[in-house]
Structure 1
């Protein structure tokens, strides 16, 4: 039997170790790539998350994982750190639609492509219910005529002011910020938005006017307001 020299055996063992290490490294890279490049979520899915100012990378990763936007928080942290973006993710309100790729998620947070949290609606003094309706429809909160028809009995009780209204209520604004005719919006959601805005304006009215008219009946208040 031919004896294989010890040097050759050591060389073969060294090669086996190297091969094993390479195989493990390749598997790790493939798994990492799957986590990074395979999308998460469904085609019609929408996820909203809020990243507060001062939130660190670890907490951001946890928020994204809890909302099923990423598969693994540690892979997200490693990938983001490798890109040099770990300390530069921006705070804000983010909307993720459809299937989410980690590359797109990191880019969105790094650049700060957040959603506007509020839309400013200025209702000037002296506006009647139809003029208020026109202003709100121009901002995409309702279709023209909907708000006025739902609040005809509130004429005079919706206080003129500058209102901050959550952008989620802008049902008729598309992803580019333009007005759109969205026929998929159901009537319940439309009614909820209208009710939310009218409640906000009525509450402001009560806060501002009640101290002045607290001794008058509802009918007397309305009479005074109409005359005013």
Structure 2
């Protein structure tokens, strides 16, 4: 006696397979839609994601899954592939919330909507002013930044033979990521200065000046000039004075490190004895009084050709330039109240 297994008809098989396929498709579609529109949680869970250069999307998706801000790394990769966003991911620092759905996460990564803090250092600002800005913006502690600016090991590493990085922080806007500390920002700003200053080498050789000398004088010009067009003229005044051994007598140098220059100084300020006060020291001060931009450095290396030795501020933001002390005194009497003395 033989045992016979029941036979499944071809017709029933043909009926079952389409239904199975449809059922699997619906299950997959449901899984896809649930994960697409249902976030993991609320905005209380935020993950700081850093996408380095050359990072792969699969690794980023796995990291977000491990951090608990998405439900499935496979789903995120699938959505990214279908939308063509997996190859558009940009480097940077991002804050990813568990309240975000995959489409929001992908758009943020693809558009480079980083959450790094932006910091802008204006031309001419000193390290003290930079520290104050960083402190007010809640980026870094004032004292910690100033400590990094004068850190001996960092100065050696950056090739700066001075007591601080004053003068070598290039003015501009910087992205401060999650993992950047005070020393990291200082390093990035100095590297930006080095990169920008490379183009000045031919002019340095022609002028017979060192980059240190240029930076010192440019930092003074930056504090004196209101109009960019006058920077070459102001540079000519100071260079003419240096050539004949005449004191620079620049007001901003008298108060460096003591207070912010606001356009006027007191008699007591001018009598302050420091290595920066050009009313007290001959020639250039011991170091820069701020961080100059490219225009001020360019003005030092390519000054206007004049025989001016004096300038006094008008009331419209420009200066009157004079060749003789008599002309200068006339300008002082005309433009300055109470005959206050200016260069």
Category of TM-score, reference length = shorter chain: 0.5 to 0.7
- 3-state SS, counterpart of residue 31 of structure 1: helix
- 3-state SS, counterpart of residue 119 of structure 1: strand
Instruction: Compute the displacement of 1:36 (Å).
Output: 2.0
For residues 128-186 of structure 1, the C-alpha deviation after alignment (integer angstroms, 9 at most, x for no partner) is: xxx56653355x127xxx958x99xxxx99864638683559xxxxxxxxxxxxxxxxx
Give, in whole Å, the separation in 1 of the partners of 2:98 and 2:55. Answer: 25
Instruction: Compute the displacement of 1:120 (Å).
Output: 4.4
TM-aligned CA distance change 1:165 to 1:100, over 3 Å: closer
The 5 A counterparts of 1:1-228 are 10-97=10-97, 99-116=99-116, 119-121=119-121, 124-125=125-126, 127=128, 134-138=132-136, 140-141=137-138, 147=142, 160=166, 162=169, 166=176, 227-228=274-275
**Number of residue pairs aligned between Structure 1 and Structure 2:** 166
TM-aligned CA distance change 1:73 to 1:137, over 3 Å: same
Give, in whole Å, the separation in 1 of the partners of 2:86 and 2:175. Answer: 32
Question: Does the 8 A contact of 2:57 with 2:87 survive in 1?
Answer: yes
For residues 84-140 of structure 1, the C-alpha deviation after alignment (integer angstroms, 9 at most, x for no partner) is: 22222112111123512111111111111112366344683485xxx56653355x1
Normalising by structure 1, report the TM-score.
0.55
Give, in whole Å, the separation in 2 of the partners of 1:167 and 1:119. Answer: 11
Question: Does the 8 A contact of 1:61 with 1:77 survive in 2?
Answer: yes
- 3-state SS, counterpart of residue 19 of structure 2: helix
For residues 30-74 of structure 1, the C-alpha deviation after alignment (integer angstroms, 9 at most, x for no partner) is: 112222221023332221111111112222212222222221111
Question: Does the 8 A contact of 1:80 with 1:86 survive in 2?
Answer: yes
Give, in whole Å, the separation in 1 of the partners of 2:126 and 2:91. Answer: 35
Normalising by structure 2, report the TM-score.
0.39
Give, in whole Å, the separation in 2 of the partners of 1:35 and 1:11. Answer: 37
Q: 1:217 — aligned with what? A: none
Return 5+ residue gaps in structure 2 as ranges.
Answer: 1-8, 151-162, 187-272, 276-343
Give, in whole Å, the separation in 2 of the partners of 1:141 and 1:107. Answer: 28
Q: 2:325 — aligned with what? A: none
Higher relative contact order (CA 8 A, sep 6+): 1
Return 5+ residue gaps in structure 1 as ranges.
Answer: 1-8, 170-195, 202-225
Bigger Rg over Cα? 2
